Amino acid sequence: MKRVVSGIVLLSCALAAPAAARSDMSSLLSALDLGGYSHGERPPDFVGHTTHGLGLSLADVRGKVVVLTFWATWCPPCRTELALLEDLQRYFGAQHLAVIAVNAREPSPVVREYVEALGLTFPVLVDPRGEIQRSYGVIGLPTTFLIARDGRAVARAIGPRDWAGSPSRELLQTLLHEPISPAAPSGTGRL
């Protein structure tokens, strides 16, 4: 009888851990007013090009926590948010954080000049026809997505957020410490 009881206790502890982790994640998302996704939902993959013509896809950064933001040069809150995301990249980059910015429908020379003026070091993609933007269902700027190291969609922010505050750093730290689960196919759907 002891074995059965201890087996039940071990099983209930194993089942409670993921539920507790999801609860903690929910409170972290709530602190930043982020919309979450169902567990296992995958963001659409994309292939884009930086202002210097270098190719980059979501698959290229698998194994890292990705902060994917959509922005434009004419958007004042985007400028502030890009500076905060640069700080995050510098702080967490060595811990496997990848910030990627996708510009919404502006010419590459305009975007390149803007990025250089801000001193951004993370990849900035140009999306001249809005294809990446459309695949993510982005309708307002800035819009930012968090993607876990295992490639699952975690959260979405429509409008600016305080990426420098302790809630965002705690959320990113939590995501950075998650184990990478076995590879799952890249998403092809729309978030």
**φ/ψ of residue 43, rounded to 5:** -80, 160
| pLDDT computed for residue 148 by the predictor | 97
Q: Is 159 left (phi over 0), alpha (psi -120 to 50) or beta?
A: left
Q: For 185, which DSSP code?
A: P
In tens, the pLDDT along 19-32 reads 445 668 999 999 99
* 146 Cβ neighbours under 8 A, 6+ residues apart: 34, 65, 66, 67, 68, 153, 154, 155, 156, 171, 175
Whether the pLDDT of residue 2 is over 90: the answer is: no
Percent share of the chain, pLDDT over 70? 82
Pick from 22-31, 36-45, 61-70: least confident: 22-31
Q: Are 81 and 163 in contact (CB under 8 A)?
A: yes
Whether the pLDDT of residue 9 is over 50: the answer is: no
Q: Are 149 and 175 in contact (CB under 8 A)?
A: yes
Mean pLDDT, the chain, whole residue set: 87
In tens, the pLDDT along 73-129 reads 999 999 999 999 999 999 999 999 999 999 999 999 999 999 999 999 999 999 999
Measured in residues, the chain has a length of: 191
Predicted structure pTM score: 0.85
- Domains of the chain with CATH codes: 32-177 (3.40.30.10)
| pLDDT computed for residue 170 by the predictor | 97
In tens, the pLDDT along 42-55 reads 999 999 999 999 99
| pLDDT computed for residue 24 by the predictor | 86
pLDDT band at residue 179 using 50, 70 and 90 as cut-offs = confident
